[in-house]
Amino acid sequence: MIAIRNLKKSFENKTVLRDVNLDIYDGEKLVIIGRSGCGKSVLLKHIVNLMQPDNGYILVDNIAIKRVGQKDLFHLRKQFGFLFQSAALFDSMTVVENIALPLVEHTDMTLKEINEKVAEKLELVGLPGVEYLKPAELSGGMKKRVGLARAIIMDPKYILYDEPTTGLDPIMAANIDKLIIELSEKLNVTSIVVTHDMQSVAKVADRVVMLHNGKIIFSGSIDELYATDNKVVNQFVTANAEGPIQPKPVTY
């Protein structure tokens, strides 16, 4: 479990995270929404220790990440797979080289073992057999999948997705949503998804939280999100609902 307590972060004189308190439970698919520029990416970067807070702290399975020494830092990082907003692949490297990077740097696996593991992850993200292509030869949706294969290469416990469907057409976006749900089930991971795509929210979220003015101002189910009378939340939901919200299927 991840426990975020009184997290504060400012840049120069601009306060981004004012006082963030949030528990993230094992196995859940948590979606974080909030206006552009409100600090969603900054929050994700704190969770994976790419940024450090001015104040407050984060516990990962009861261990305070800012107290983790250099020796244990890799063990901590290894638990997190991060899908960056831009897939952040190295253009000069092939798909297999991009995905294998952490294995080459941090394990003593043989080349054969590495290739097998990469093939397994590519299969999982629905993209088998593309090992020797370069990023330039891939579509936007394929790049996301390769980024995701890299994010899960060390068998993380938590997968963080930063705007995974932004810039994709609706069909590709729906495929990525499906993949997030599939991976959550197959790999038994905790998923933390930042998005402003309400179609995605409705499909993926076990729970939704909204970040606004540097604080979490809402936490609840999709039904609670639609039903809340919080004006800021209502405004966000209405403004970001592209197309009609799909009604839930009726079960008898």
- Figure out which of the listed residues 2, 20, 31, 39 binds ligand ADP, where binding follows CB under 6 A: 39
Number of Cβ within a 10 Å radius of residue 128 = 12
Q: Is 34 a binder of ligand ADP (CB under 6 A)?
A: yes
> Which region, judged by CB under 6 A, interacts with ligand ADP, from 37-45, 144-152, 179-187, 220-228?
37-45
Closest CA to 222 of 237, 207, 210: 207
Q: Is 69 a binder of ligand ADP (CB under 6 A)?
A: no
DSSP 8-state code for residue 92: T
Cβ neighbors of 31 (< 8 A, separation 6 or more) are 193, 194, 195, 200, 201, 204, 205, 207, 208, 209
Choose from ligand ADP, Mg ion, none: what does 190 bind? Cβ within 5-8 Å by kind: none
Closest CA to 99 of 79, 75, 120: 120
Q: Is 41 a binder of ligand ADP (CB under 6 A)?
A: yes
- Give residue for tokens 């993200």: 125
- Figure out which of the listed residues 31, 32, 41, 58 binds Mg ion, where binding follows CB under 5 A: 41
The least CB distance from residue 15 to ligand ADP, in Å, is 9
Label the pairing between strands 29-33 and 207-212.
Answer: parallel
Three-state secondary-structure class, residue 71: helix
Choose from Mg ion, ligand ADP, none: what does 11 bind? Cβ within 5-8 Å by kind: ligand ADP
Tokens linked to 156: 């993380």
Q: Is 37 a binder of ligand ADP (CB under 6 A)?
A: yes
Closest CA to 63 of 39, 79, 51, 82: 79
> Which region, judged by CB under 6 A, interacts with ligand ADP, from 40-48, 149-157, 227-235, 243-251?
40-48
> Which region, judged by CB under 6 A, interacts with ligand ADP, from 39-47, 72-80, 110-118, 177-185?
39-47
The least CB distance from residue 107 to ligand ADP, in Å, is 30
Number of residues that bind ligand ADP (CB under 6 A): 10
Residues within the interface to ligand ADP (CB under 6 A) = 11, 16, 34, 36-42
